[in-house]
Amino acid sequence: MDLITIENMNNIIGFIGVFILLIAFLLNLLGRLSQKSIGYIILNIIGAGLACLASVLINYVPFIILEGTWTIVSIIALINHFRKATNAG
């Protein structure tokens, strides 16, 4: 009996992605992580990217759109973060 099936792997990937997003959200709410910090942005890219991958694997289009957009917006935030840092330094 295989403990890790394709279906289980999809769930694991999705769970990890959503967990990372919720950790970033919680840390932000508690004032431990600013929305403009590199850590918050990276957590959003990784979390949304994994959640999007899980959605692709199960072919669930509404969440592919949601998480894909979230990932893209977070990548843009990362690019802007480095642009501001470069211009300031």
Q: Does residue 22 lie in a domain region?
A: yes
**Rounded distance, CA 68 to CA 83, Å?**
23
Q: Does residue 3 lie in a domain region?
A: no
Length of the chain: 89
| Structural contact between residues 67 and 52, judged by C-beta atoms closer than 8 angstroms | yes
Structure tokens at 16: 């990890």
Q: Does residue 16 lie in a domain region?
A: yes
Q: Does residue 60 lie in a domain region?
A: yes
Tokens 């957590």 belong to 43
Q: Does residue 49 lie in a domain region?
A: yes
Q: Does residue 63 lie in a domain region?
A: yes
Q: Does residue 30 lie in a domain region?
A: yes
Model confidence pLDDT, tens digit, residues 11-43: 999 999 999 999 999 999 999 999 999 999 999
| Structural contact between residues 17 and 24, judged by C-beta atoms closer than 8 angstroms | no
Q: Does residue 65 lie in a domain region?
A: yes
Predicted pLDDT at 4: 79
Model confidence pLDDT, tens digit, residues 1-14: 567 787 899 999 99
Q: In terms of residue numbers, what domain contains 25? A: 12-88
Structure tokens at 22: 């919720």
Asked if the model's pLDDT at residue 66 lies above 70, the reply is: yes
Provide, rounded to the nearest whole percent, the portion of the chain with pLDDT above 70.
97
- Rounded to two decimals, the pTM is 0.91
Predicted pLDDT at 2: 66
Domain count, the chain: 1
Predicted pLDDT at 7: 81
